[in-house]
Amino acid sequence: MNDEYAGLTTEGIHQGTRMIDECTTEEMLQLLHREDASVPAAVAAEIPRIGKAVDVLHRVLRQGGRMFYIGAGTSGRIGVLDASECPPTFGTEPWQIQGHIAGGDSALRLAVEGAEDDEEEGIALIERCGVTEKDAVIGISASGSAAFVVAGLKRASELGAATIGVVNNKPSKLERVCDICIAPVVGPEVIMGSTRLKAGTAQKLVLNMLTTCTMVKLGKTYDNLMVDLKASNRKLQDRSLRIIRAATGVDADTAAAMLQRAGTSCKLAIMMIKTGLEAEEAERTLARFEGNLKAAIRAGTKVV
């Protein structure tokens, strides 16, 4: 038995759920819900470090760098999920925010035995991605000891990249190799060692904060409207029209016409309606303000 793993909070035995196999269905659900309800407080305690990470990610992406999630098992899947949601939600390019899991994409569906212990592959992944000092790498590991993640983050640091750890134990191996360590400690799981439960929930909350707040700072929203979304299906097309109407007060027909004139760019359509500028000039103004719609509208309105 490895004493290092035995000492991890995430590997502890929860004294309050020892008899879960004798509970009624409702009693089991109450136990799970009670434990899940404790997760937000653990995340809240890490907000100062999450804030530092957001500022780093904002700087990196604003300067043309990339953001990488690396993880194994549940942690890797959560990273891939968060990264894959950014293009449709915030209009990012697929290369800007990437999620990578130990064992490759097949590990998203089936466990790849030993993948999290592969230090060499963690290093090789960082090198294949061409990570440089312009980028940021976020390593996710509930235990903070997954060799794939620790080695990958260490290599990224050697290459000059900004490094961030998301873990559920203090202290951890991951903490030693990253610039910022976000560590919501949620305690033993309802089922011993099943870190897809509270630890996974905490990780998802943290990643939600990292990307959402970074995107807001990058001007990807107007108020709380996701104006940089890509209308890639009917639902998102309808959402684009509702966002345009909410931001400008125009009727449905006007919103549809302006969205078409803007080449299906929700943000550009709002800019054109708000300023009266034609698409080309509105686009140039947006570019001058790095996509910040509010700032561009103020400037464009003065021109008009």
Encoding tokens for residue 105? 């994409």
Encoding tokens for residue 151? 């080695």
C-alpha distances out from residue 164 to 57, 98, 122, 184, 220, Å: 10, 14, 15, 14, 23
Q: How buried is 71 (Cβ within 10 angstroms: 0-12 exposed, 13-18 middle, 19+ buried)?
A: buried
All residues at 6 or more sequence positions from 173 whose CB lies less than 8 Å from its CB, including other chains:
144, 145, 150
CA distance 81 to 201: 13
The verdict on whether 4 is a catalytic residue reads no
Q: What is the dihedral of CA 186, 192, 198, 199, to 10 degrees?
A: 70
Choice among 85, 119, 175, 281 that is catalytic: 85
**DSSP state letter for 111:** -
Cα distance between residue 64 and residue 134, in whole Å: 8
Q: Which residue has the tokens 């686009």?
A: 283
| Measured distance CA(8)–CA(206) in Å, rounded | 20
How many angstroms separate the CA atoms of 231 and 264, rounded?
7
Among residues 116, 121, 189, 283, which one is catalytic?
116
The residues with which 199 forms a beta bridge, in sequence order, are none
Known catalytic membership, residue 116: yes
Q: Which residues are catalytic?
A: 85, 116
